Amino acid sequence: MRTQSKKELFESMPVPRAIATMAIPTIISQLINLIYNTVDTIFIGQTGDAYKTAAVTVAFTIFMMTVAFSNLFGIGGGSLIARLIGAKREDDAKKVSAFSFYCAIGIALLYSLLIGAFLDPILRLLGASEATIGYARQYVLVVVVAGNLPVILSQTIAHLLRNTGYSRQASIGLSGGGILNILLDPVFMFLLLPEGMEVLGAAIATLLANVAACVYLLLTFRRVSASAPLSFRPRDAKAIEKPEIKSLFSVGVPSAALTALFDTANIFLNSLMSIHGDLELAAIGIVMKAERLPNAINIGLCQGMLPIVAYNYSSGNRERMNTVIRSVRVYGLIIAAVSLVLFELFAAQVVRLFLSTSAGRVDDAVTTIGYATLFLQIRCVASISQFLNYHTSFCMQAVGNGRDTLIHSFCRELVFYIPFMYLLNALFGKVGLVCALIAGETCGAILALILFARWKRKHAVD
């Protein structure tokens, strides 16, 4: 897409069309990546071994922390790049992109080193038992310790491409990796490796797919940087000024914290649920995978919205900015409401996709499915408040309001959700523990709306 058409996308294209142009590729990418993360669980579930499913639940929490690190420089750098472009500061945008690129590499290597050094204690902390830790260790060593760099770098590059208008190219890279993962999973799990090594097979397939996606996105980034305000030249990274670094971190840190705290909350959830048993842990793992479908759609919608809001805020077109925000809010609420109804009606059918009752330990599988069905029907009630949390947080990130984003992230998980886990678990057991999401997300959404409304009044943004 030529530079002129990029300008039209941000400045004058009809709002529904502009949102669709940016959001649809991002939603597709989110869904395909969700599918390939979910497919690991589905294929492993076909063994009928609930303990392998529980192990992947534990390992997945460690893997998802990579999203937090990619958000630090992907959303932090990408949001700043969009605002710099809106302010006609393309040279500074190049410096920010190069700085984000190399910092993503550094933090990826550091995370791999730390996980590798303290793997078993971390797995125990997350709720791994003697029956599950071996499988969890296999998955994490391959996907995170060995494969963390391509994951974080791919996601960071995708954010940078998306915020300069190359949403389709970012989607192709991430989606292509997801599709390749889906194709490779059964090959490594059931053909190349012996029976009993399905978790390791899924991990190898994921690693190879992530490497392929990273290579494609690197080549795309290099190609578009010839005309777009993007760069990975070391001298551009070194030339970045302190105000830009501060602006990057003012959004990147809260964005990373949002994801990191979300994963921290899941660590507490897994740990508390593991006390009730491995089957209950497997059940909540299935539910967290299933409920990611509507969340992935809405996160993709919000990620597509962010560059347009950031650009128009920086360029002073507040009317267009507010129209985009309102439109995306309506679309997301509709998606959340529909997902709530569908999960209530078809929870049992959804859960059965993740665990076979015709192979392996059938009695354990049936029990796990019963727990997961109940858990999903309870947790899906939080769908609408979850979207409001995502939407409002992305709006605050788009306008550079890092302070309130961080306050919201902190309160949503540490002040509301996690304390509700302990309180409701103590009062009502595992059912109360599952209900904590509804209470935590509702309180978080109310706070987010209050913070954003206060910011709008302060900056005279109606």
More confident residue, 55 or 109: 109
Separation CA 439–CA 34 (nearest Å): 25
Q: How many CA atoms lie within 13 A of 350 on its CB side?
A: 26
What are the tens digits of pLDDT across the range 205-217?
989 999 999 999 9
Averaged over 56-61, what is the pLDDT? 78
Mean pLDDT of 195-213: 90
pLDDT at 2 over 50: no
Question: What's the structural domain count of the chain?
Answer: 1
Percent of the chain surpassing pLDDT 90: 47
Q: Could you give the angle at which helices 148-162 and 50-86 cross, rounded to 10 degrees?
A: 40
Q: In this structure, is residue 311 part of a structural domain? A: yes
Report how many helices (DSSP H) and strands (DSSP E) the chain contains, helices first. 18, 0
Q: What is the pLDDT of residue 140?
A: 92
pLDDT of residue 190 exceeding 70: yes
pLDDT at residue 5 above 80? no
Separation CA 175–CA 32 (nearest Å): 5
Confidence category of residue 6, pLDDT binned at 50, 70, 90: low
Count the neighbouring beta carbons within 10 Å of the beta carbon of residue 190: 15
The tokens of 365 are what? 């599988």
Beta-carbon-side half-sphere exposure of residue 458 (alpha carbons within 13 Å): 8
In a domain? residue 151: yes
Q: Which among 265, 245, 244 has a CA at the least distance from the CA of 409? A: 265
Q: Can you tell me the distance from the alpha carbon of 78 to that of 81, in angstroms, rounded to the nearest whole number?
A: 5
Q: Alpha-carbon distance 320 to 71, whole Å? A: 26
Local confidence band at 344 (pLDDT 50, 70, 90 cut-offs)? very high
Maximum distance among all alpha carbons in the chain?
Answer: 64
What angle, 0 to 180 degrees and rounded to 10, lies between the N-to-C axes of helices 50-86 and 15-45? 160
299 inside domain: yes
Q: Tell me what pLDDT residue 37 has.
A: 66
Is 229 inside a domain boundary? yes
What amino acid occupies position 66?
T
Contacts of 133 (CB under 8 A, 6+ apart): 55, 120, 123, 124
Does any domain span residue 461?
Answer: no
Q: What is the pLDDT of residue 392?
A: 95
Band of residue 75 on the pLDDT scale cut at 50, 70, 90: confident
> How high is the pLDDT of residue 391?
95
Q: Which band of pLDDT confidence, cut at 50, 70 and 90, is reported for residue 54? A: confident
Domain span at 22: 3-455
Q: At 277, phi and psi to the nearest 5?
A: 140, 160
Cα distance between residue 182 and residue 190, in whole Å: 13
The arithmetic mean of pLDDT across residues 143-161, rounded, is 92
Distance of CA 149 to the CA centre of its chain: 16
Residue 462 maps to a domain: no
Q: Give yes or no for residue 197 having a pLDDT over 80.
A: yes
| Percentages (nearest 5) of helix, strand, coil residues in the chain | 85, 0, 15
Residues 398 and 312: their CA atoms lie apart, in Å, by 10
Between CA 93 and CA 96 the distance in angstroms is 5
Nearest Cα to 290, choosing from 32, 46, 24, 42? 42
Closest-CA residue to 187 (of 58, 39, 300): 39
The reply to whether 153 falls in a domain is yes
**Confidence class of residue 48 from pLDDT cuts 50, 70 and 90?**
low
pLDDT-derived band at 63 (thresholds 50, 70, 90) equals confident
Residue pair 365/50 in contact (Cβ under 8 Å)? The answer is yes
Note the pLDDT of residue 359: 60
Check residue 440 and give its pLDDT: 96
pLDDT tens readout for residues 97-150: 999 999 999 999 999 999 999 999 988 887 788 888 888 899 999 999 999 999
Token couple for 68: 């937090």
Q: How far apart are CA 398 and CA 191, in angstroms?
A: 46
Averaged over 228-253, what is the pLDDT? 90
Buried b (16+ CB within 10 A) or exposed e, 61-77: bbbbbbbbbbbbbbbbb
Angle at 288 between CA 282 and CA 291, to 5 degrees: 140
- What digits encode the pLDDT tens for the residues 351-365? 888 776 666 577 778
Are the CB atoms for 270 and 277 separated by under 8 Å?
Answer: no
pLDDT at 1: 42
Q: What is the C-alpha to C-alpha distance for residues 61 and 271, in angstroms, rounded to an integer?
A: 11
Average pLDDT over residues 314-327: 91
> Is there a domain that residue 35 lies in?
yes
Indicate yes or no: pTM above 0.85: no
